[in-house]
Amino acid sequence: MRVVETNEEELLVALKQGSAQAFSVIYKLHVKKIYAFTLNILKSPTITEDVVQEVFIKLWENAARLDANSSLSSYLFTIARNLSLNVIRKASKQQWIVDEIALHVYDTSEDGLAFTQRRQTQGILEHAISTLPSQRKRIYELCHGEGYSYKKAAEELGVSDSTINSQMVKAIRTIKTYLLKNGALLLLLTIK
């Protein structure tokens, strides 16, 4: 075990001096572990590859400031974790990240047929929502999609609580009717 630590210390010293060869050895020693760790967090191989690349870019950029006596593995895993958490935070603002992660999460928990059916059913729901009049659609999206209370939605839109309630009742009725006509019976159970 001490031999590995000594080699790691020597590699860190060489890396601090700008050795591309030391960087290459460190990369080969750690890339698979960092990839597996990051994939476990993000679920998406595509996004994971980008994050792993960024981990090693940060290692190279910060090599001169590394402490040769500190654990390189801990340093790399910390960077991977922080970058992964940043990706998850960005996911709330960038739908493609959510879609990419969701694609791989569902791949591991559903068979192909169930995944396809769920995606088609979700598409039918989205189409049903898109057919709502614009004000009703906005109210539905605020209350159902963004989790606003009726009171908060009323304040946001400058209308009364009863208007929000009335529009939500109409929106849900329209969506349920659309889903029933288009064979998306399972989604009826989730629409409130």
Element (H, E) at 29: helix 20-42
In a domain, 130, yes or no: yes
Coil, strand, or helix at residue 177? helix
Pair of tokens at residue 157: 């839109």
Host domain of residue 160 = 112-188
Q: How many domains does the chain have?
A: 2
Residue that is last in its domain, among 44, 62, 96 = 96
In this structure, the answer to whether residues 161 and 81 fall within a common structural domain is no
Query: Per-residue b/e over 60-91, b at no fewer than 16 CB within 10 Å?
Result: eeebeeeeeeeebeebbbebbeebbeebeeeb
pLDDT tens-digit map of 124-180: 778 888 889 999 999 988 887 777 888 989 998 999 989 989 999 998 888 888 777
pTM over 0.75: no
CB 131 within 8 A of CB 174: yes
Name 160's Cβ contacts closer than 8 Å, sequence gap at least 6: 154
CATH code at position 131: 1.10.10.10
pLDDT tens-digit map of 160-176: 989 989 999 998 888 88
CB 90 within 8 A of CB 97: yes
